[in-house]
């Protein structure tokens, strides 16, 4: 039975978010009704995943408008607040896309902005369900082994979207069709979206899975334990190059060497035709402490520095299929 987890919902005066940093041990809800709290939630990954960021950006404009009214901001202050929400994280194109989508409605008032933001949510859930069906069809047409063993990276489920999931939506669909043996969920260092969030979502649905260290992924694939890898995306350039959570490109290289498909699943809102190639995508660099510390305790020598890019770019030539709600592209 599919369980509906809503990562975010408008509650009348603000946004109700599941604080994803507290999962899986606690379900903590955040009530976000001012711009600083929203930007903070986005930057510390309380809300995360490209489509969920898109919806947050769209609702964020309404939050800014309501705060502007309460605190008597002038037009410049409102514009500045909206720009800061739009720029809160750089890599997922959905965040800016969600803000831009509702901007034409600002002149009509907050109810018009909210109606458009709700449309972003509805369309994302519908897109994810279509992605699940297209992706499962494509995989079952090309991969013979049954039942299937799937590897995934990061979290692309209900938490990362407005509902259902992209790569995880395909995995749910394969499970529903009774053709899924197991999922290898990369733990996804350093913030553990795989072991904390993907494993939690899989567990909620009774989908068999192993959490594995990111460093195991290439070996699991080359040992023949995986039939297909399915990941999400934060931004897909016009040529198909795909930015996703750091570690994705290593999975793609291993899949190519092993001769198994590497599949990217993302809604059209993650496609960025204005970016020609992957090397034009801005890669977010996150705080060094995320790598140098473990649970708030320093583990690396005091003098060590960290390089902490949050995303990498998989070249289109390593991608066998990009699945969106419109169907499957084979780059
Ligand atoms: C459907 S979510 C797709 C991507 O946004 C996801 O794979 C990812 O990389 C998320 O990164 P995060 O840093 O957790 O926001």
pLDDT computed for residue 176 by the predictor: 98
Q: Give the pLDDT band of residue 289 (cuts 50, 70, 90).
A: very high
User: How far, in Å, CA of 35 to CA of 270, rounded?
Assistant: 24
pTM, whole model, 2 decimals?
0.97
Q: Tens digits of per-residue pLDDT, 24-81? A: 999 999 999 999 999 999 999 999 999 999 999 999 999 999 999 999 999 999 999 9
> Was 177 annotated as part of a binding site?
no
User: How far, in Å, CA of 224 to CA of 28, rounded?
Assistant: 39
Residue 265: its H or E element? strand 262-265
Q: Tens digits of per-residue pLDDT, 79-100? A: 999 999 999 999 999 999 999 9
pLDDT computed for residue 2 by the predictor: 52
Q: Is the CB of 235 under 6 A from ligand 1?
A: no
- Ligand 1 mean position, distance from CA 42 (Å): 12
Positions annotated as catalytic residues are 234
Average pLDDT across the chain, whole number: 97
Closest ligand 1 atom to 245 CA? 9
The pair of three-digit structure tokens given for residue 72, joined into one six-digit string: 């008597």
Q: Tens digits of per-residue pLDDT, 217-269? A: 999 999 999 999 999 999 999 999 999 999 999 999 999 999 999 999 999 99
Q: Is the CB of 49 under 6 A from ligand 1?
A: yes
Quick check: 1 pLDDT over 70? no
Say if residues 38 and 15 touch (Cβ distance below 8 Å): yes
DSSP sequence for 123-189: HHHHHHHHHHHHHHHHHHHH---SSEEEEE-S--BGGGSSSSBSHHHHHHHHHHTT-EEEEEEE--T
Residue of 166, 186, 244, 287 best suited for mutating to test ligand 1, as the one with most atoms within 8 Å of CB:
244
pLDDT computed for residue 3 by the predictor: 58
Quick check: 5 pLDDT over 90? no
Query: Domains of the chain by range and CATH?
Result: 8-123 (1.20.120.420), 131-329 (3.40.50.10470)
- Ligand 1 mean position, distance from CA 302 (Å): 30
Q: Is the CB of 50 under 6 A from ligand 1?
A: yes
- Ligand 1 mean position, distance from CA 266 (Å): 10
- Ligand 1 mean position, distance from CA 19 (Å): 15
Quick check: 207 pLDDT over 60? yes
Q: Tens digits of per-residue pLDDT, 169-194? A: 999 999 999 999 999 999 999 999 99
Q: Is the CB of 55 under 6 A from ligand 1?
A: no
> Was 50 annotated as part of a binding site?
yes
Complex confidence, ipTM: 0.99
% of the chain exceeding 70 in pLDDT: 99
């Amino acid at each position: 039975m599919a369980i509906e987890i809503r990562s975010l919902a408008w509650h009348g005066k603000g946004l109700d978010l599941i604080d994803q940093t507290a999962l899986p041990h606690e379900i903590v809800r955040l009530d976000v009704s001012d711009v600083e709290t929203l930007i903070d939630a986005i930057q510390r990954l309380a809300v995360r995943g490209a489509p969920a960021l898109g919806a947050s950006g769209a609702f964020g404009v309404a939050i800014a408008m309501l705060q502007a009214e309460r605190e008597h901001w002038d037009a410049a202050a409102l514009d500045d607040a909206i720009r800061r929400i739009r720029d809160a994280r750089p890599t997922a194109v959905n965040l800016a896309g969600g803000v831009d989508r509702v901007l034409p409605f600002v002149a009509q008032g907050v109810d018009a902005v909210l109606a458009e933001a709700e449309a972003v949510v509805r369309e994302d859930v519908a897109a994810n369900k279509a992605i699940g069906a297209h992706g499962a069809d494509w995989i079952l047409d090309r991969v013979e082994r049954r039942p299937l063993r799937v590897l995934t990276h990061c979290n692309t489920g209900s938490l990362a979207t407005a509902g259902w999931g992209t790569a995880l939506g395909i995995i749910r669909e394969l499970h529903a069709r009774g053709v899924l043996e197991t999922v290898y969920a990369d733990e996804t260092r350093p913030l553990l979206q795989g072991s904390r969030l993907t494993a939690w979502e899989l567990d909620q649905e009774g989908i068999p899975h192993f959490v594995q260290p990111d460093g195991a992924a290439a070996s699991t694939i080359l040992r023949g334990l995986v039939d297909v890898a399915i990941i999400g995306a934060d931004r897909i350039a016009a040529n198909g190059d795909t930015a996703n959570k750091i570690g994705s490109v290593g999975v793609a290289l291993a899949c190519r060497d092993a001769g198994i498909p590497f599949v990217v699943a993302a809604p059209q809102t993650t496609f960025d035709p204005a970016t020609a190639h992957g090397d034009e995508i801005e890669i977010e660099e996150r705080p060094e402490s995320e790598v140098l510390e473990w649970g708030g305790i320093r583990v690396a020598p005091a003098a060590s520095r960290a390089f902490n890019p949050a995303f990498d770019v998989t070249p289109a030539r390593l991608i066998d299929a990009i699945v969106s709600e419109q169907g499957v592209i084979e780059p």
